[in-house]
Amino acid sequence: MNSVVVVIIGFIVAFIGYRVYAKYIDTKIMKADPKRATPAKMYMDGVDFMPTSKNILFGYQFKSIAGAAPIIGPIIAIQWGWLPALLWILAGAFFIGWVQDYSSAMIAMRHEGASLGGLSHKLISPRARIILLSFLYFYLLLIAGAFGNVVVSTAIGLKAAPMAWLFMTIGGILAGQMIYRWKKDIILTTVVTVVIALFGIWLGTIAPSNKIIGDSLANSRWVWAIAAFVFCYFAAVLPIWRFALPINYVASYIVFLGLFFGIIGIFVAHPNFTLPAYTGFSIKIGPIWPIMFVTIACGAISGWHSLVSTSGTARQLEYETDARPVGGGVMFVEMMLAVFALVIAGTIYASATEYGAAIAKGPGVIFAAGVSKFLGALGLPLDTGRSYGSVMMIVLAVTIMQLVIRFMRIATSELLSDVSPIFKNAHIGTIIASLLGMLLVLTGWWQYLWVLFGGANQLMASLALMLVTAYLMSEGKPAAYAFYPMIFMFFTTVAALLYTSYGLLSKVFTGAVKGAEALIGNTLMGLIGFFLVIAAIILAVEGAKAFNRYRAIRAQAAPAKA
Amino acid sequence: MSEEKKKGGFFQAIKEFIYGVAAHDSARFALKTRASMEHLFILITMGDMLGVPILPPYYSLRLLPYVVPQISTWKRRMLREKDFTDALA
């Protein structure tokens, strides 16, 4: 089948989802009222609460949720065949993904801009809040591990990537200096620093890492894992304007340009799918259900989005009616990003064998090859295109990683500062988070780590949908549109986490694992998976109690009305 | 004329989208940094409003007229329930 047909189907699903289903929920169930004051207007402080144009928030939400996951998930999931992967991307986003993003923003708006922790406390129970925050810590750790693996495998698989990454970092640091210290014009700063980053992309093609540091170091997982976490360390402890923010600023142009021209390249080349539509129910990493459903995370449904929607977006929405384009609309755009990633994976290799050889080196290699091919359709040399794709992959992964490590530093301080004041120290918290992340990167097989990340991520989404359902029940509104997706995601993710964790730990206990690294990796991943399942079950029990409470309140109110 | 307005609106939307992707969180961070410093100043000077007397009342009263516009925002920010997911905001 031609890939443009698939892309058009994606656009149609997005259009119907946004203009019909989302509009129905927004107007008839949630009853968004443009005249109702939002927290951004009620508590306007020009800082956290600030009414912001929906177009700006559209870009902000997209930037915050679109990381490496909508790209990597489909690239891995195509191993089951492009058709089941496509069906899950479309159906997942249509029935569940946008529902979670939009509804999380709405319920946070209607609860004075409360965060997920605050919403759990109000809608479920105080214990739910504590368990959710503990769940979040391990969920963040899995993100650090999974994305760290992407950075390491891309740096090893594509020798041009490290130089491009270095110049992106230099450009970013210079941007921070020019904007905040030297007070230079923003347009001049943008042009200078983006040119530096583009120069680094070209330089990487003639000065690959193996020529600079030798083959042994260039192929070492330790070297690139240390590089990734040192990068995140600086991002977490340095003033944010000096390192993290300006690098993200420069990187956003590189990624945006790459996606924009890459997508045009897909239409120009309009390749056919070369990989099979369906390969079988079960493959090495597991069966289609539940494993494929958690492998494609952000492109279909992702709990990370509920964090962004509640803590970030909900406090800036000017009107309640902006929640549909910002929350729902952006999710459909991310769905299209996942479709493009699927097209990349499904069309650039001549056969499944070639794809198999490439995926063994990591998903970044496949993405970079795809960007290279489609930018090549517009005239860019293939080597430069591959270098461009590799730095896009690294940047998409590392921008989320640095945020996650910063989060984990703050979480360590909050959760452990009563145990010992040493945990309040920013350096200690960051080092702990980085070491744990590195441990996962160096010891875990990346495909299992990705499945665990996806499972945790979507379990987070299920919990967010539980909060939405609790809100709807408390208000006496129909809750089916959130309740059934919640049930589906809960059982799918618990099954996926149990399946993967059991498989990892049984290999440890039966002695099937050889080597200290694999032993540590399997044990750690397996235990984290089980912990997340236990936390989710406790939250589900608390959620069920809350649902019964609201049902009882409604039942008592009904005879009184009669 | 209405087509020109529509084009202007479309290009304005694209500009705002790119600003949202590239620069909005930097702008918010700069505002938060300024707000943190201002609120720390108000805590030092007006802390007894929240039960934290730091500065003698004479000096607090002299500074009061300058901080009155920000007091309600400051109180709300100091007393609002927070957890580490606010770091994402």
Please give the Cα distance from A14 to A95 (Å, whole number): 11
Task: Report, in this order, helix, strand and coil percent for chain B, each rounded to 5.
Answer: 85, 0, 15
pLDDT the model gives residue B6? 59
Q: Which of residues 305-364 of A touch B (CB under 8 A)?
A: 307-308, 310-312, 315
Q: Are B25 and A60 inside 8 Å of each other by CB?
A: yes
pLDDT the model gives residue B45? 85
Residues of A in contact with B81 (CB under 8 A): 114, 118, 121
Identity at A115, one-letter amino acid code: S
Please give the Cα distance from A82 to A105 (Å, whole number): 32
Contact A158, A365 (CB under 8 A): yes
Residue indicated by tokens 């755009």? A333
Q: Does residue B1 surpass a pLDDT of 60?
A: no
Q: What is the pLDDT of residues A479-497, one digit of tens each?
A: 999 999 999 999 999 999 9
pLDDT the model gives residue A558? 65
Of A461, A400, A489, A482, give the one whose Cα is nearest residue A65.
A400
Please give the Cα distance from A363 to A75 (Å, whole number): 6
pLDDT over 70, % of chain A: 99
pLDDT the model gives residue A174? 95
What is the CA A38 to chain-centroid distance, rounded?
27
Residue indicated by tokens 């289609």? A288
Q: What is the pLDDT of residues A442-461, one digit of tens each?
A: 887 777 888 889 999 999 89
| Average pLDDT over chain B, rounded to an integer | 81
Nearest CA in chain B to A310: B89
Could you tell me the CA-to-CA distances from A333 to A362, A448, B54 in Å, in that order?
Answer: 25, 27, 51
Residues of A in contact with B30 (CB under 8 A): 241
Nearest CA in chain B to A253: B22
Q: Are A410 and B84 inside 8 Å of each other by CB?
A: yes
Q: What is the pLDDT of residues A504-551, one digit of tens each?
A: 888 888 887 777 777 888 888 888 888 889 988 998 999 999 999 998
Residues of A in contact with B26 (CB under 8 A): 179, 241, 245-246, 248-249
Residues of A in contact with B33 (CB under 8 A): 241
Contact B24, A55 (CB under 8 A): no
Of residues A211 and A421, the one with the higher pLDDT is A211
Task: Return the domain boundaries, chain A.
Answer: 3-561
Q: Does the complex come out with an ipTM higher than 0.90?
A: no
pLDDT the model gives residue B7? 60
Query: Exposure of A288 by Cβ count < 10 A (0-12 exposed, 13-18 middle, 19+ buried)?
Result: buried
Provide the phi-psi class of A362: left if phi over 0, else alpha when psi is between -120 and 50, else beta: left
| Average pLDDT over chain A, rounded to an integer | 90
Backbone angles phi, psi at A81, to 5 degrees: 115, 145
Q: How many CB atoms lie within 10 A of CB A528?
A: 24
Q: How many CB atoms lie within 10 A of CB B5?
A: 9
What's the predicted TM-score (pTM) here? 0.90
Of B21, B87, B88, the CB nearest to A63: B21
| DSSP assignment string, A426-473 | HHHHHHHHHHHHHHHHHHS-HHHHHHHHHHHHHHHHHHHHHHHHHHHH
Q: What is the pLDDT of residues A73-115, one digit of tens each?
A: 999 999 999 999 999 999 999 999 999 999 999 999 999 988 8
pLDDT the model gives residue A559? 59
Please give the Cα distance from A121 to B19 (Å, whole number): 35
Confidence at A240, pLDDT banded by 50, 70, 90: confident
